[in-house]
Structure 1
Amino acid sequence: MEVRENLRTTNQQPSTYEFDSRARQWTAVMPYPVSSNEAYHLQQFINSPESSKSTREDLWRLLASESRAPELHVSPQDGLMEANKINALPGQPQGVNFDQYAGYVTVDSSAGRALFYYFAEAPHEPNAKPLVLWLNGVANVIFLESPAGVGFSYSNTSSDYKRTGDASTAADGFRFLINWLERFPQYKSRDFFIAGESFAGHYIPQLASLILKNNAANNNMVIKLKGIAAMISYAWTHALISDETYNAIQSQCTFSDVDTADCKKVVDAAGQEMGKINPYDIYAPLCHGSSSSNKSASNVSSHQPEDLDPCTDDYINRYLNIAEVQKALHANVTNLRYPWRLCSSLVGGKKWHDGPDTVLPIIKELIGSGLRVLLYSGDQDSVVPVTSTKAAIDMLKLPITSSWQAWYTNEEVGGYVVTYKGLAFTTVRGAGHMVPFYQPERALVMFSAFLKGGGL
């Protein structure tokens, strides 16, 4: 789980950069101080009295309520599991050895709001494996597009897109889970984990908090939550910007307010100095154009993980907008007025109406409840970097139970791990922001160890 502090974007859209698909480059578009400034101001914030409460009272009324979880409507799910089963996906190799499902779960019938999911059962002994909800082989995994407006998820009430936030996203995620488990009742008694990356570092702790509160209040709808896994200054320490610009950011940008002319000026300067790089993986090559003539969107399966293609985002966008693919996935059943996009412009940014400046107080509560917590970072990610995550963990003041050490896969260092009381922090060597994409084998080893409750 990435703990991404004070970012108001969703679906992995960078706050300082926007990817220009025509120019094939990242461009600075939103005033946010590069992450070298995060650790310093994060420490100032957490040491202040403000760190123990949210500046958004409506969020904490929802998350800190001891009386009840969000209002629920559990709709009939009879027959929907079978209806959601995928017979075949275009371009997918024939005879895959796992069952897969996809479709919609309504989370607000009056607003016509529904979330899209893709669910893959474990290929071996799925009945004995835990259930994982992944927000944005070793287990049965639900991939959820949340909130409404992201991917194929939608609302028939357009104002929903203008009032998105942490509280509503957590509440809709909870409603989704309750109804999904009614659709797949064989998973009600399974151990359950929540995992994800990027801004899911906000969603995951808050959804976990709602689940625990519901479990305490409602014995009829207990979810066996066992743990969470998510992702929290970097550009300067990797020689991407000058000392002068770094010092200017330190002096001009504050933790609580980055939308000032002086701060925007120095952040823009940092973007210029960094040049045309992918902030999600500063060492990865850029995509310099792709076309259906040289790469078929329906032949994505031919790409081997070790042959990282920087244009994969383009292929995914094309593939998921093919009518035949959407039909196979039971997606876009309402004929959405916009195409599927990797990064949604409908939600996030100034449309995001609530969210605490830090989720560390919630993480402390989850650790205290006995949940296993894994924080992880790709060591080539400048958006949610290792350094900021380490600084945030230091603020929790947890005792170390196993000191910093390398972990291995195939006799090579896969990354580094340090274990605290109730929490483990793992880095993945050679990985960018989307760790499973950049280093799938190392991500699999890390995640398998977490689910099994063992060390790396």
Structure 2
Amino acid sequence: MCNFRLTLLFHLLLTLFLHVQSLSQYGSTVEFLPGFDGPLPFYLETGYIGVGKSEEVQLFYYFVKSESDPRKDPLLLWLTGGPGCSSFTGLAYEVGPLAFGQKAYNGSLPILVSSPYSWTKFASVLFLEQPVNTGFSYATTSEAYMCTDLQACDQVYEFLRKWFINHPEFISNPFYVSGDSYSGITVPVIVQLISDGNEAGKEPLINLKGYSLGNPKTFPEESNYQIPYCHGMGLISDELFESLKETCKGEYRNIDPTNTLCSQNLKIFKKLVSGINDQQILEPFCGTDSEVHKPRQLTAGERRSLEEDLIFLKHDDFICHESHVATRKLSNYWANDLRVQEALHVRKGTIRRPWARCRQSIGGTTYTITFMNSIPYHVNLSSKGYRSLIYSGDHDMVVPFQSTQTWIKYLNYSIIDDWRPWTIDGQVAGYTRSFSNHMTFATVKGAGHTAPEYKREESFHMFKRWIAQQPL
């Protein structure tokens, strides 16, 4: 009798364990977040989905339902670039419903507020932490932390298929993939994988409609456009620009070591722009918020001093207190707070080192880049008729708008809506042009490398019009 009861108890516990595991696959609802006053005014779900043969890679996600009609509104997958930048960047700095209510760290837990320009006003957004070792995503084996860019794209596609199985109510919603910066390399690959999977009949079939990219890395030669961009923006003289063109022949990346004149001109150029913030040339140059700055984990009673946080600033350079770099650093303090991780349902013991908004060390260590040209994917996706929005913050020196225009012209599709301004409340917000392959190009006036971070309102209206298939 005793053995029977033990056996019954074992089966009951096993059933309960499997039930809990099953529920965890569907994610967990988050109603309150430390730093945010009151309950969240939107639906937030976080969770993990395992990918790989033994699900050794556990990808973390934030999912926010549309605040309009989530049953019918588009569903958007957001992939932050890097590689190695957390999708929390999209959630709190670019297109999501959250924003930091302060610009610099003051010693206490950073404050979060609602963003009035969240893309979740009209679309559901799935913010995915990828590749593995980004944000709260992790692996269960050391080997699983190693992957190539193409393997990471495969993992995103596997994640999506499993996520839709767990969320069948969204399978019929129009689906788009979006991102910016380095995501310009991976997003077209992922869209291609989804398209190929649909054509092959892989279940569940995803209702793929298109993709959008901001200031996207696309091909290796785009760095050659930085010098023409700097000349057009008045950062270098006419004489230096003409000399660079003549001596370097338009190739500024792989320089012939015997071409001393080109090398000398490039040295002058680099010195002239060394004090420029290349992500937004009008912003102050205040260093970086990458993992060079490594906050330790904070307990509820611990606080880091303001002086320690501002060590990256020059003694007299207080303008950096108001910079985007200072605001980005807030995420490190917020996400490393143990109360935050508990609220987000982060699995204890899975983060091997302090959370960082961007793990720049991923490239070349655990993440291997095998290609840097996504133009062939754009060619193929254009032939299949998918919609696309390609936009450029026009004050970005990292991926200048000229380089983006160049590869779009290479696709050689006819113009159906020629270059014109697009406006908000009667004011010019940028310029746009549309092509016969269902591709729209737009500039966002005054925006930097991550356009929605610098111009949230303008980016909100741009994307809202585009996804509703209205002219910008």
**Do Structure 1 and Structure 2 share a fold, with TM-score over 0.5?**
yes
Q: Give me the whole-angstrom Cα distance separating, in 1, the residues matched to 2:256 and 2:54.
A: 36
Please say if 1:170 is aligned against 2:156. no
Please say if 1:337 is aligned against 2:352. yes
Please say if 1:207 is aligned against 2:190. yes
Superposition deviation, residue 334 in structure 1: 3.2
Q: Give me the whole-angstrom Cα distance separating, in 2, the residues matched to 1:379 and 1:145.
A: 27
Q: Give me the whole-angstrom Cα distance separating, in 1, the residues matched to 2:267 and 2:45.
A: 44
Please say if 1:155 is aligned against 2:99. no
Report which structure shows greater RCO (CA 8 Å, sep ≥6).
1
Q: Give me the whole-angstrom Cα distance separating, in 2, the residues matched to 1:118 and 1:128.
A: 20
Q: How far does the alpha carbon of each residue in 1:405-430 deviate from its partner, in whole angstroms, 9 at most, with x for none? A: 00011221111110001211011111
| Pick aligned residue for 1:195 from 155, 178, 182 | 178
Q: Tell me the residue number matched to 1:39.
A: none
Please say if 1:441 is aligned against 2:464. no
Superposition deviation, residue 96 in structure 1: 3.2
Q: Give me the whole-angstrom Cα distance separating, in 2, the residues matched to 1:88 and 1:216.
A: 41
Q: Tell me the residue number matched to 1:24.
A: none
Q: Tell me the residue number matched to 2:380.
A: 365
Q: Tell me the residue number matched to 1:411.
A: 426
Please say if 1:454 is aligned against 2:438. no
SS at match of 1:126: coil
Superposition deviation, residue 318 in structure 1: 1.4
Please say if 1:236 is aligned against 2:231. yes
Once the two structures are superposed, the pairs formed by residues 113-124 of structure 1 within 5 Å of their partners are 113-124=57-68
| Pick aligned residue for 1:143 from 114, 119, 127 | 127
Q: How far does the alpha carbon of each residue in 1:319-350 deviate from its partner, in whole angstroms, 9 at most, with x for none? A: 11111111111225333222222221342247
| Pick aligned residue for 1:129 from 64, 73, 96 | 73
The amino acid that maps onto 1:275 is S
Please say if 1:278 is aligned against 2:277. yes
SS at match of 2:232: coil
Please say if 1:184 is aligned against 2:178. no
Identity of aligned residues (%): 31
Superposition deviation, residue 451 in structure 1: 1.2
Contact 2:68/2:123 (<8 A) preserved: no
Q: Give me the whole-angstrom Cα distance separating, in 1, the residues matched to 2:144 and 2:42.
A: 36
Contact 1:170/1:206 (<8 A) preserved: yes
Q: How far does the alpha carbon of each residue in 1:378-428 deviate from its partner, in whole angstroms, 9 at most, with x for none? A: 001111111101111111111000000000112211111100012110111
Q: Give me the whole-angstrom Cα distance separating, in 2, the residues matched to 1:406 and 1:280.
A: 23
Q: Give me the whole-angstrom Cα distance separating, in 2, the residues matched to 1:288 and 1:345.
A: 14
When residues 409 and 157 of structure 1 are mapped into structure 2, their CA distance, relative to the original with a 3 A threshold, is same
Q: How far does the alpha carbon of each residue in 1:235-283 deviate from its partner, in whole angstroms, 9 at most, with x for none? A: 33323344245655546645xx579798998766543321222211111
Superposition deviation, residue 294 in structure 1: 9.2
Superposition deviation, residue 355 in structure 1: 3.9
Q: Give me the whole-angstrom Cα distance separating, in 2, the residues matched to 1:379 and 1:176.
A: 34
The amino acid that maps onto 1:195 is S
Superposition deviation, residue 434 in structure 1: 1.1
Q: Give me the whole-angstrom Cα distance separating, in 2, the residues matched to 1:397 and 1:228.
A: 19
SS at match of 2:277: coil
Q: Give me the whole-angstrom Cα distance separating, in 2, the residues matched to 1:143 and 1:295.
A: 31
Q: Give me the whole-angstrom Cα distance separating, in 2, the residues matched to 1:258 and 1:226.
A: 42
Q: Give me the whole-angstrom Cα distance separating, in 2, the residues matched to 1:438 and 1:206.
A: 27
Contact 1:174/1:211 (<8 A) preserved: yes
The amino acid that maps onto 1:279 is D
Superposition deviation, residue 109 in structure 1: 5.2
Contact 2:165/2:204 (<8 A) preserved: no
SS at match of 2:464: helix
TM-score, structure 1 length as denominator?
A: 0.73
Q: Which runs of 5+ in 2 are unaligned?
A: 1-19, 81-120, 219-224, 290-303, 310-321
Once the two structures are superposed, the pairs formed by residues 31-180 of structure 1 within 5 Å of their partners are 78-80=22-24, 83-108=27-52, 110=54, 112-136=56-80, 137-165=121-149, 167-180=150-163
Structure whose alpha-carbon radius of gyration is higher: 2
* Root mean square deviation, CA, Å: 3.1
Q: Tell me the residue number matched to 1:399.
A: 414
Contact 2:393/2:451 (<8 A) preserved: yes
Between 1:410-419 and 1:260-269, the stretch displaced more is 260-269
SS at match of 1:338: coil
The amino acid that maps onto 1:271 is K
Superposition deviation, residue 437 in structure 1: 0.8
When residues 268 and 102 of structure 1 are mapped into structure 2, their CA distance, relative to the original with a 3 A threshold, is farther
The amino acid that maps onto 1:171 is D
Contact 1:379/1:386 (<8 A) preserved: yes
Contact 2:211/2:389 (<8 A) preserved: yes
When residues 129 and 260 of structure 1 are mapped into structure 2, their CA distance, relative to the original with a 3 A threshold, is farther
Superposition deviation, residue 214 in structure 1: 0.7
When residues 286 and 110 of structure 1 are mapped into structure 2, their CA distance, relative to the original with a 3 A threshold, is same
When residues 332 and 434 of structure 1 are mapped into structure 2, their CA distance, relative to the original with a 3 A threshold, is farther
Q: Tell me the residue number matched to 1:51.
A: none
Contact 1:308/1:438 (<8 A) preserved: no
